[in-house]
Amino acid sequence: MFDLKAYLANKSSRINRALAAVLKTSGKPDRLLEAMSYALMAKGKRIRPILCLAAAETIDGDPQEVMPAACALEMVHTYSLIHDDLPAMDDDDMRRGQPTCHKAFDEATAILAGDALLTLAFQMLSSMATNDHNRQQAFKWLRAIQLISHAAGYCGMIQGQMLDMASERKDLTLAELKSMHRLKTGALIEASVSCGAELVGVNSTQIHMLENYAQKIGLAFQVTDDILNVEGDPEIMGKAVGTDERRRKTTYPALLGLAESKEFAAQLVKDALRALDAFDQKADPLRAIARYIGERNH
């Protein structure tokens, strides 16, 4: 039986070492770099970079080859968390079991730390493209830049966050809620899977199946997040619960009910697993991650 706990621990350790190495070579230690490291190296699930590595393995590629993309994805994700936690947005005090970046430092430093992580991600990706003497592989790194920037920008995560802020105290339909969360949460998850596969070489049939898988788990991740915001344990999650109700946000539990939301998340996971039917045991990490997303408690 596939041991997901051991797999996640192994991949998280490798990702953390790679992230620490990038920060070490990024500049002289100062308050800004300290804030970047504080947020980036905090205890997180590393789901997005792990999905990138797992997708590469599914296509029989070497996950170490896509590690720079995995690190970039985590930097982009962390930048988004820093900014989401700011008083102007969600105004949260805790993240990943520790005070949010603007609480530990100050608002200006937190904003700049987020900006710095975002730009460092693309600096690293573009360096891979320009330093790779294999023209075909260099174009793959450019494709990774395109995928991540699209997922993180106006057409993806940022637009989703804007819609989320604008929807507070408003009633959304289920279709509107799905659309918003595919942008806010799903886009970067989809890019994580696509980057891992495309960097090691994937055919059109395979990428279609992997994109379908990623869309399902991206939505399942957000549905589960909404459920945990209702009944999760803040000690386990490392952040407050009940915030969605206080902000009068439309969530899946509010719209569908708690039991129905759990059924919806379970169906999304089943659909994600079905999308991987044509792959062999090399896709077992992706299968296990899909189940984990539907069952997680943090």
- pLDDT tens readout for residues 114-165: 999 999 999 999 999 898 778 899 999 999 999 999 999 999 999 999 999 9
Determine the length of the chain: 298
Q: Which of 27-41, 82-96, 238-252 bottoms out in mean pLDDT, i.e. has the lowest? A: 238-252
The pTM is what? 0.96
Range of the domain at 130: 4-295
- Note whether 147 and 153 are within 8 A (CB): no
pLDDT of residue 120: 97
pLDDT tens digit sequence for 171-194: 999 999 999 999 999 999 999 999
Q: Structurally, how many domains does the chain consist of?
A: 1
CATH assignment of the domain containing 35 = 1.10.600.10
Q: Over the stretch 80-102, which tens digit does the pLDDT of each residue have?
A: 999 999 999 999 999 999 999 99
